[in-house]
Chains A and B, each alone.
Chain A
Amino acid sequence: MTTASTKPVKKPRSGGYWARLGKNLIRDKWLYLLLLPGLVFFFIFKYIPMYDLRIAFMDYNPFDPSKSQWVGFQQFTDLFTKPAFLKVFKNTIVISLWKMVIGFPIPIILALLMNEMRSIKFKKVSQTLLYLPYFISWVIMGGLIMNFLDPSTGIITAIIKAFTGQDMQVLTSKSAFVPMLVISDVYKGMGWGTIIYFAALSGVDPQLYEAASIDGAKRFKQLLHITIPAIMPTVIIMLILNCNNILNAGFDQIFMLYSAPVYDVADIIDTYVYRIGIKQTNYSFSTAAGMFKSVIALILIVSVNFAAKKSGNEGIW
C-alpha cells in the first residue's frame, strides 16, 4: 500500500478504480458467497417473471413459444374495450375501498380503547384472542363462513330470518356477498391491525400523561392531545401501505368463497386473471391484465410516498 502510494501515478484513474474494486471484491469474497443464494433466488423467482411480462405484448403460443407474434399494445387495447375487464376492475376497486373505509379506522379505535384498559392481564388475554383469526387461513375462515351462512343449518341465516323473515342465501346473493366479504375481512384482520398502533403507543413517554393529569387534563383530553398525535405518523404510513393494496381486493378470500351466481359483483382482477389465464390458457391477455394491475399499484405507491414526504411526513422509504 505505502509503496504504491509513494510512486507517481502513471496509470489513468480508471485503472486505480478497477484495482481497488478487485481488491474489495477479494476482501469481501465470503460476503458475496453468502449473498449468492439470495441473489439467485431473486433473479429466478422475481426478475425472470418480470422479463416474461413481455408476453403481454405478444400473442403467446404456449405450445411453441418461438412462434409467438409481437402485437404491441394490442392486448391492452383489448383489455380496456372489454366490458368484462372493466367490470372486474370496478369490482376490485369497490371491494377494496369498502374494506379500507371500514377496515382502516377500526383497528385504530380498538387500539385506543384497549390502551385505556388498566388491567394488564385482561389486556393480554384479549389481545391474544383478537390476534387469533389473522393466523387462520382463508380456507378455514371460508369453511366457518360457509358453516354460519349455510342455507339450512347456519346460525347467521337463522338470525337474518328472525329479524327480516327472509331466507337469505348470502353466499349466492348479489346484494349481500360484498358486505359479507367486507365484514369477514374486518373480522379476520381487525385484531392484528391494532398491533402496529400498540407499537407506536408503547413509545409514548408516560411522563406526558402524568404532566397532563397534573395540569387537570381528563382522560379524553389526554387522548386528544397526547395519544392521537403520537400514533399519527403510524396512521399515515399505514394509509400509504393501504393505497398500494387498492387493487388487491383479497384474492385468497374471494377465490375461496365466490361462485358463478356472484361473479357479477365478486369477480376481481386476480380471479379474472386466474380464470382467463390458467383455466382458458389465454396467457397473453391475462398477463396484460395482471401487468396493468401491478403497474397501477407501483404508480400509486410511488406517488403516495412522494406526496407524504412532500407534506413533511415520513414515507416508507
Chain B
Amino acid sequence: MAKAIDAMEFPAKKNKIKTSTGEKIFTVFNYAFFTLLCLLMLYPFWHVLMQSLSSMEEALKGGVFLYPKGFNLDTYVSVFKNPQIYSGFGTTIFATVVGSVLGTLVTAMTAYPLSKTRLRGGKIIMVLVLFTMIFNAGMIPNYLLIRNLGLYDNRWALVLPMLVSAYNCIIMKSFFLSIPESLEESARIDGANDMRIFFSIILPLSKATIATILLFNAVMYWNDYFSTVLYIQATDKWSLQAVLRNMLTNTQQAMQAAGVNVRAQSNTNAVTIKAASIVVATVPILVVYPFVQKYFVKGVMIGGVKG
C-alpha cells in the first residue's frame, strides 16, 4: 500500500514516456525485425509474379525479380490455353462451395442437439464424435470405403469424407451453450418445435461462428490435393491443386498441357509456365484473404475457449 501511495506522487504518464536506452534499442530492433519478416512472407509471391511476366531469356538467367524483365504476357496466354486449368477450377469450386456449405450446415445440425443436456444418449454420441478426433483409421480403410461406396472417380469423393470434423462440432457446441435458454423457452411457448427453433432462432444468432467454420472449411477444400490423388483418376475431374501439382512436378507435362511446342520459337518455358500457374492458383486466395482474415482470427479465439 505504502508503495502505491508513494507512486502517486509521480505522474504515471511521465513514467511511461521515460524509457531506458535499452528499451529504445529493443523497440527499434523489434520493428525492423518484423518489417523484414513481413517482406520475407511477401517476396516469394512477388517473385513468381514478376518472373511469370518476364521473358524466357531473363527467367532462365534467374536472380532477384523485383519487376518484370522483358515484360510479356505470352506465358499467361499458354497457361489459359490449358483446358485442365478450367476443369481444375470447376472441380475445386464445386468441392469448396458444396463441401463448406453442406459441411457447416451438418456441423451445426449435429452440434445443436448435443448442446442440450436433456437429450437422451447425447453424452455417448459426444464421446463417439470426440473419439474420431483422437483416432482415425488411416489412408487405406478410407480408400477402400470410397471404392466400396462406388465414389471412386466421382467428384463427391472430394467432398464427403471431410464434411464434418469433431473439432468444429465442439466449437459449434460450445457456442450454442452460450445462447440463453430463455430465448428457446419463449419460442416454445409460442408453439415452435425444436426444428423451427433451430432454423429460425438459433442459426441466425450464430452467424459469426458459422461464418468462421464455413471459411475454415472452404480453405480446407480449396487447398486439398491428396483426395484427388487418392480418389480421382480421370484428369478432367482433378481439383485445381492436383492439376497444379502435376504441372509443377512434371516439366514435360507442364509444357504439353500448356500446348507449348518445344521446338517452336516461343517466349515461354517451364520456369515461366510454372511461375504463372502458381500465380493463377494463388490469386483467388490473395484477393479474398484480406477481407476474411478477421473471421479466421475470431475462430481461433472461439476455439481457444474450451467447450
Q: A residues engaging B (CB < 8 A)?
A: 21, 24-25, 28, 30-35, 37-39, 41-42, 44-50, 52-53, 55, 113-114, 116-119, 122, 125-133, 135-140, 142-144, 146-148, 150, 152-155, 158, 187, 191, 195-196, 199-200, 202, 210-211, 213-215, 218-219, 234, 244, 251-252, 255-256, 270, 273-274, 277-278, 283, 286-287, 290-291, 293-295, 297-298, 301-302, 314, 316-317
B207 at interface by CB-CB < 8 Å = no
CB-based contact A31/B113 at 8 Å:
yes
CA distance A150 to B120 in the complex (A): 60
- Interchain nearest-CB distance for A17 vs B (Å): 11
CB-based contact B134/A298 at 8 Å:
yes
- Interchain nearest-CB distance for A168 vs B (Å): 14
Residue-wise interface mask of B (262-306) relative to A, using a CB-CB cutoff of 8 A (1 in contact, 0 not): 000000000100110110011001000110010011001100101
CB-based contact B140/A155 at 8 Å:
no
With contact pairs A34-B194, A158-B62, A214-B4 given, residues A273 and B139 touching in the complex (Cβ less than 8 Å) = yes
Q: Which of A131, A153, A215, A252 contacts B293 (CB 8 A)?
A: A131
Q: Which residue of B lies closest to A287 (CB)?
A: B140
Q: Which residue of B lies closest to A37 (CB)?
A: B106
Q: Hey, which chain A residues are within 8 Å of B128, CB to CB? A: 42, 47
Q: Name B's interface SS.
A: helix
Q: Name A's interface SS.
A: helix
CA distance A291 to B137 in the complex (A): 7
Q: Hey, which chain B residues are within 8 Å of A199, CB to CB? A: 300-301, 304
CB-based contact B135/A294 at 8 Å:
yes
CA distance A295 to B137 in the complex (A): 9
Q: Hey, which chain B residues are within 8 Å of A35, CB to CB? A: 109-110, 113-114, 125
Q: Which residue of B lies closest to A305 (CB)?
A: B134
- Interchain nearest-CB distance for A81 vs B (Å): 20
CA distance A297 to B134 in the complex (A): 8
The range of chain B's interface size is 35 or more
CA distance A55 to B147 in the complex (A): 15
- Interchain nearest-CB distance for B2 vs A (Å): 11
Q: Which residue of A lies closest to B105 (CB)?
A: A37
Q: Which of B15, B114, B244 contacts A139 (CB 8 A)?
A: B244
Identify 20 residue pairs between A and B in the complex whose beta-carbon atoms are under 8 Å apart, listed by A's number.
Answer: A31-B194, A34-B195, A38-B107, A39-B110, A50-B137, A52-B137, A118-B27, A132-B42, A139-B242, A143-B244, A199-B301, A213-B15, A214-B7, A215-B3, A273-B140, A290-B138, A290-B141, A294-B135, A294-B136, A302-B134
CA distance A179 to B306 in the complex (A): 35
With contact pairs A25-B120, A153-B62 given, residues A148 and B44 touching in the complex (Cβ less than 8 Å) = yes
Q: Hey, which chain B residues are within 8 Å of A113, CB to CB? A: 30, 33-34
